[in-house]
Structure 1
Amino acid sequence: MKNSFYIAAFALISFASCNNTQNAKHAATPKNDDSLNISFDDYSNKFLTELWKQEPEMATQQGYHLNDSVLKIPNDAYWNEGLAFVNSNLETLKAFDTSMLTPSHLTDMKMIQNYLESKQWGIQTLKQFEWDPSAYNITGLIAFMVASNDQPADIRLENVYKRMQQVPAYYEAAKANLKNPVDELKSLGIAQNEGGLSVIESDFVDSVKASNFSEEKKYKMLLAAKNAAHAIKGYVAYLKSMKGYTPRSFRLGKDLYAKKFELDIQSNLTAEETYKAALERKDFLHGEMAKISKQLWPKYFGSKTMPSDNLQLIAAMIDTLSMVHVKPEDFQSAIEKEIPTLVQFIKTKNLLYIDSTKPLVIRKEPAYMAGVAGASISAPGPYDKEGKTYYNVGSLEGWPADKAESYLREYNQYILQILCIHEAIPGHYTQLVYANRSPSLIKAIFGNGAMVEGWAVYTEQMMLENGFGDNAPEMWLMWYKWHLRTVCNTILDYSVHAGDMSKEQAMNLLTQEAFQQQAEAEGKWKRVSVTSVQLTSYFAGYKAIYDLREKIKAKEGKRFDLRVFHEKFLSYGSAPVKYISALMLN
């Protein structure tokens, strides 16, 4: 899963509504198409410039550093200004004549509009700031700033110092916002804020001590760090001591879920339609897995009687193949060794251009990111094109032997290779490098999660289709098993948040029908209890991309070139697949 260090702030730009509307109306009566599109470019650039003033946390993550020293305080004024901005700019967008915009500009406009509508709905209806304690955490972005190398160290530390001075007020506002927190999100907020304390007390402090600042300045900076850490500890203590409230259920409910799916996924299908498609896909995968398991049975079990039940047959074969895995202490190094193999395969098969100048750094998952996913990519923003991309790997250090064994059977020798395809090459890492090269900042900045996750899932299948793993039935079986995760993510997420699926039912789905290890299934239940809709992005995006490829193959016939398809698809940045489809098919 692609990870973001910042809490997505709501837009607070103080554009003058009347001036914007007048400018857009003037632009909407152009002499020709070019003048309107130039006017829209001008609007987009001004929009982003003002956006970064009011969303400095988001700006920093995107590689825009003019406002790095500012930490917005999430109080009532913040939400009110945000709502005023959203309403003003939605009116401004109405004034543009969409029939005269180029397809690319029209896509940008729709992405800005979706962003604004999502923020409007979030402030007025979802109100997550009232029930999600984990939404308040300043440590991730500070860690990003301290570790970054796109600015001199003294400039970065100075900006962190100024930001830290605002941390006590930030957490006081967080306390005031919370009314009926979700217990599961409260636990996550406690764990992640406690995990991030080392960023303040160690990483920043050590960097300041090694800096070139005067002793007096160092004293002030270390004092600010001490006060910031005290504020974090105070917030954690507040969460632990909260009493006298009725916890909100972590389940969104069908109506909220449907709207969030519409805004987040931006699919041509509804949440319910996507759920039904996932159920059909699950049945298909079970059929294919049964065929391969019957083929492999004599090789691994000899004359032993084959189970008559297909799910039991598949489970037995998967359990046998899963026993071959790395040692806990070798998990990260095994991932590091896999990356060159993937690069060479893609070059040999001429599947896609891989930019070798963009660094990929594999690292232990930072503590402030713990609790959601075991592997993720943290990529530089479009303003920081030379920044490092991090492949974050969850650590097994300190795990009980039985839990570590369960986890490693899930990430066995086959799955570990597929994981690296998904997270790194040609999955997330590769796609995000392309996104940062897109000429449209809008498409890169307001990237669609379903496109990003869908591409990573699509590449798994694409690599196997082109012979990765030597077309071995074992590899295909284990990919089908891995792909069931994608499918069952959607089934699980919809059934839990739009329905009333219990943990017992969820565990049965994941362990008995998706053949996941107990540790993996437990982790997925935790994840579905602290997130919503995001788990559907994998299958929704995959299905849209695969369907697009097949349509273009049918249209072009023998002229179809897979590399051309991949590079053209990625050239549109991280736009929703439904918009990319319209651009490519036309």
Structure 2
Amino acid sequence: MRHSVAAALVASLFATAPPAEAEAALIVPATPVSRADTGFDAFKQGFVDALLAHDPDWALQVGSYRDASRLAIPDPAADLSFAQKWLGQLARHPVGQLSEANRIDRALIENRLRSLQWYSGQFRNREWDPSQWNVGEGFSILLTREYAPLEARLLAVSARLAQVPAYYTAAARALRRPTLEHTQLAIEQSQGVLALLDSPLASAIEAAHLDAERAAELRSRASLAREAVHTWVAHLEALMPRLQRGEGRSFRIGPAQYARKFAYDIQTDLTPTQLYRAALTEKERLHAKMDTLAAALWPRYFPDTPPPKTRLARIGTLIEKLSEQHVAAPDFVAEVQRQIPQLEAWVRDKDLLTLNPDKPLQVRETPLHKRGVAGASIDAPGPFDPAAITWYNVDPLDALPATEQESTLREYNRWTLQILNIHEAVPGHYAQLVYANRSPSMVKSLLGNGAMIEGWAVYAERMMLESGWGDHEPEMELIYAKWVLRVVCNTILDYSAHTLGMSEAQAMTLLREEAFQQEAEAREKWRRVQLTQVQLASYYSGFESIYALREDLRRRDGDAFDLKTFHERFLGFGSAPVKYIRQMMLG
């Protein structure tokens, strides 16, 4: 339910202090080639406006603050109705009458709507994954993105806080048979929500110029919201005994649901089984390459010791030796910060990609409400507020036990940490998402494809090493091969865990003995595959598609091929699936 008084106050403040200029930006249509294209461009605008209104939390993430004061309660029936309505309207725009760019936009919209139907009607993950019920990110955006004066943002916060009790009441009613793993995650992340609604919110209220009545109302609503979160946590904790006895749903989604989710999320012409088999082949190729590198490096690090007789033992022993070179735990986040300017300078000096110095990137410790899935991530603003800060989230190590700290530091050693920063920041996720916000097609920017986004970040690592980053030293080549092996084994792990019944022991064998991961990393990855589905397969799928496209263009264009031109043209298509970008780039 809307809170009309608060909404009116927010609207009045926005009238004097509008959000970022891009908030009002319309979709830039492709050059119309027919009346069909003109009509479809109008349809796209209406669809995007409706999608933003339907999902105000997603709207906040992509930088649209029109409905900032509304906390929507997820409703499968509303999702199905929305999808059915817009699929009906989409059918009025036959694909054969549209330009190539609009045909691809049409395919992206249809995939989004059919995906919404499947998620809400069949996958129904809000019934078994309580971590889907999390109000933290919306409040975090409102408190940290300076799209409007603090007072306006706090009034939006106040309106949202008033809706939190109803939100978590609906969450408790929606749960049917949750998994143990997702319930544990929801409890952990809810503690982060409580922390966010405590001192950060209190500090914001103190810093703002709200009158006493509104400030008191905000504090009261915050108190009631925290009580609602506590009640939600208590509800989840009460479920834990029976979940620990094995009475909950399995985290494994099974072959049929995996195949459907893969089709909607990855949007490739490969089947999950084909990608899995390709990953097994690539794992063998990487092992052979790593063995050659290990043989060359062995005398340098073990001059008086004969190498082990087995290939995996030789590689593993040498990687363990190299992993001793790492920063100290207190310096981990600072070292990430230190490397970003170096990467930016390299990209500029090698003329690999044009970087925009006006698009801010800041490294921060991962907010508590977002921890528990991945150790590093990017929070990028969307095309409606492209000037907002992009956050590079890094989990700090301070609170970990000493043995886990050391294990993590060995995994992210001197060489691996550089590759991680390339992947997450420059020229990986951060750079790609800045380009996506500039795409002429708002649809290609908003309906981003995870395999393209992750694939570009993995491709960026390869491209940087090809350009000479790391001086082509064999240590970097070996550690990079280990990183690529991680990408490959992500696919093997994800497919095997969800469709083949892979056990934890089998996963540890794959990750520790065949992918040479440290104990902490392997444990984190096993936890991640229990909490996510298909996403781990997106890295390898996207990378292979992008690299194949580049090499096809290189062969076609010969001496006329220009790497920077390829990068900037590729990124100019937003975050569309690679198979569609291939169509546009190859004609």
TM-score, L = length of structure 2: 0.93
Q: Secondary structure at the match of 1:413?
A: coil
Amino acid at match of 1:423: E
After superposition, where does 1:449-488 map in structure 2 within 5 Å? 449-488=450-489
2:510 is paired with a residue of what secondary structure? Answer: helix
Please state if 1:365 is matched with 2:382. Answer: no
Are 2:129 and 1:127 aligned?
no
Q: Which whole-Å deviations, capped at 9, do the CAs of 1:456-494 have from their partners, x for residues lacking one?
A: 001111111111100101101000001111000000000
Give the drift of 1:209. 2.2
CA distance in 2 between partners of 1:378 and 1:196 (Å) = 17
Question: C-alpha distance in 2, partners of 1:283/1:402?
Answer: 31
Alignment partner of 2:172 out of 160, 163, 175 = 175
Find the aligned partners of 1:54 and 1:90 in 2 and give their Cα distance.
Answer: 15
Q: 1:190-205 alignment to 2 at 5 Å?
A: 190-205=187-202
Question: In the alignment, which residue of structure 2 is the partner of 1:258?
Answer: 259
Q: Which moved more, 1:492-501 or 1:78-87?
A: 78-87
Give the counterpart letter for 1:241 in structure 2.
A
Question: Are 2:63 and 1:66 aligned?
Answer: no
1:497 aligns to 2:498 (yes or no): yes
User: Residue in 1 aligned with 2:339?
Assistant: 338
Q: Say if 2:201 is the partner of 1:221.
A: no
How far apart are 1:268 and its partner, in Å? 1.3
Give me the whole-angstrom Cα distance separating, in 2, the residues matched to 1:259 and 1:97.
25
**Counterpart position of 1:10:** none
Of 186, 190, 194, the match for 1:189: 186
- Cα offset, 1:205, TM superposition: 1.9
Match of 1:156 among 127, 145, 153: 153
Distance in structure 1 (CA, Å) of the matches to 2:327 and 2:418: 12
1:36 aligns with 2:36: yes
Tell me, in whole angstroms, the C-alpha distance in 1 between the residues paired with 2:60 and 2:359. Answer: 20
Q: Tell me which residue corresponds to 2:427.
A: 426
C-alpha offsets along residues 332-355 of structure 1, whole Å, 9 cap, x if unaligned? 111111111111111121111111
Residue 102 of structure 1 deviates from its aligned partner by 1.3
Q: Give the residue type in structure 2 aligned to 1:106.
A: R
In the TM superposition, what are the counterparts of 1:290-301 in structure 2 within 5 Å? 290-301=291-302
What is the Cα deviation at residue 415 of structure 1? 0.3
CA–CA distance in 2 between the matches of 1:486 and 1:328? Answer: 25
Q: Is the 8 A contact 1:171 1:231 kept in 2?
A: yes
Q: Which residue of 2 aligns with 1:355?
A: 356
| CA distance, structure 1, for counterparts of residue 462 and residue 220 of structure 2 | 53
Code of the aligned partner of 2:174: N
Residue type of the alignment partner of 1:535: L
**Paired letter, 1:140:** E
**Aligned residue number for residue 324 of structure 1:** 325
The one-letter code of the counterpart of 2:114 is: E
In the alignment, what sits opposite 2:86? 89
CA distance in 1: counterparts of 2:573 and 2:60, whole angstroms: 23
The separation in 2 between residues aligned to 1:548 and 1:531, in whole angstroms, is 28
2: distance between equivalents of 1:51 and 1:296?
A: 55
Q: Does 1:235 align with 2:235?
A: no
Q: CA deviation at 1:34?
A: 2.5
SS in 2 for 1:403: helix
Q: Please say if residues 162 and 221 of structure 2, whose CA atoms lie closer than 8 Å, have aligned partners that are also in contact.
A: yes
Partner SS state of residue 584, structure 1:
helix
What is the CA distance between 1:322 and its match in structure 2? 0.6
SS in 2 for 1:567: helix
Aligned to 2:516: 515
Matches of 1:88 and 1:214 in 2, distance apart? 44
Partner of 1:389: 390
For residues 229 and 478 of structure 2, the distance between their equivalents in structure 1, rounded to whole angstroms, comes to 47
Tell me the secondary structure at the aligned position of residue 362 of structure 1: strand
CA distance in structure 2 between the partners assigned to 1:180 and 1:195 by the alignment: 24
State the aligned residue count.
Answer: 552
Distance 1:336 1:262 in 2: 37
Give the distance between the partners of 2:96 and 2:166, measured in 1 at CA: 47
Q: CA deviation at 1:36?
A: 1.1
User: What is the CA–CA distance in structure 2 between the aligned matches of 1:97 and 1:528, rounded to whole Å?
Assistant: 39
Structure 1 residue 90, shift from structure 2 partner: 1.4
Is 1:106 the equivalent of 2:103? Answer: yes
User: Contact (CA 8 Å) 1:33, 1:100: kept in 2 or not?
Assistant: no
Q: What displacement does 1:81 show?
A: 2.3
TM-score with structure 1 length normalisation? 0.93
Question: 1:184, CA displacement in angstroms?
Answer: 0.4
Asked if 1:49 corresponds to 2:49, the answer is: yes
**CA shift digits 1:7-42 (9 cap, x unpaired):** xxxxxxxxxxxxxxxxxxxxxxxxx94321111110
CA distance in 2, matches of 1:213, 1:202: 17
Distance 1:176 1:37 in 2: 45
Please tell me whether residue 206 in structure 1 is matched to residue 207 in structure 2.
no
CA contact (8 A) 2:76 2:121 kept: no
Amino acid at match of 1:127: R
1:533-548 correspondence to structure 2 within 5 Å: 533-548=534-549
1:13 matched to which residue of 2?
none
Q: What code does the residue aligned with 1:116 have?
A: L
4+ residue runs of structure 1 moved beyond 6 angstroms?
A: none
Please report how far the alpha carbon of residue 244 of structure 1 lies from its aligned counterpart in structure 2 after TM superposition: 6.4
Unaligned runs of 5+ residues in structure 2 are 1-31
Range that drifts further, 54-63 or 167-176: 54-63
Q: Say which is worse superposed, 343-352 or 106-115, in terms of deviation.
A: 343-352
Q: By how many angstroms is 1:233 displaced?
A: 0.6
Match of 1:565? 566
- Following TM superposition, by how much is the alpha carbon of 1:448 offset from its aligned partner in structure 2, in angstroms? 0.2
Aligned partner letter, 1:207: A
Give, in whole Å, the separation in 2 of the partners of 1:85 and 1:366: 32
Aligned-partner SS, 1:267: coil
Q: Secondary structure at the match of 2:210?
A: coil
- Counterpart of 2:283 in structure 1 is 282
1:91 to partner: Cα distance: 2.3
**What's the offset of the Cα at 1:100?**
2.2
Cα distance in 1 for partners of 2:202, 2:478 equals 49
Question: More displaced, 48-57 or 540-549?
Answer: 48-57
User: Per the alignment, in what secondary structure is the counterpart of residue 308 of structure 1?
Assistant: coil
Q: Equivalent residue of 1:437, what SS?
A: coil
- Give the structure 2 partner of residue 6 of structure 1: none
- 1:440 Cα deviation from its structure 2 partner: 1.0
1-side partners of 2:384 and 2:159: how far apart?
22
SS in 1 for 2:262: helix
Deviation sequence 1:284-305 (CA, Å, 0-9, x none): 1001000010011111111311
- The one-character-per-residue Cα deviations of 1:192-215 (angstroms, maximum 9, x if unpaired) are 011221111111122112211111
Amino acid at match of 2:542: G
Cα distance, 1:399 vs. partner?
1.4
Which of the numbers 140, 149, 152 marks the counterpart of 1:143?
A: 140
Describe the superposition over 1:64-122 as per-residue Cα deviations: whole angstroms up to 9, x where unpaired.
11111011123xxx322221221122122222121221111111111110000101001
Could you tell me how far apart the structure 1 residues matched to 2:47 and 2:399 are? 48
Q: In 2, are the aligned partners of 1:205 and 1:225 still within 8 Å (CA)? A: no
Give, as a single letter, the amino acid of the residue that structure 1 aligns with 2:66: L
SS in 1 for 2:34: helix
1:427-446 equivalence runs, <5 A: 427-446=428-447
Inter-partner Cα distance in structure 2 for 1:562 and 1:479 = 21
% of aligned pairs identical?
Answer: 44
Q: Helix, strand or coil for the counterpart of 1:390?
A: strand
Matches of 2:79 and 2:401 in 1, distance apart? 47
Residue matched to 2:27: none
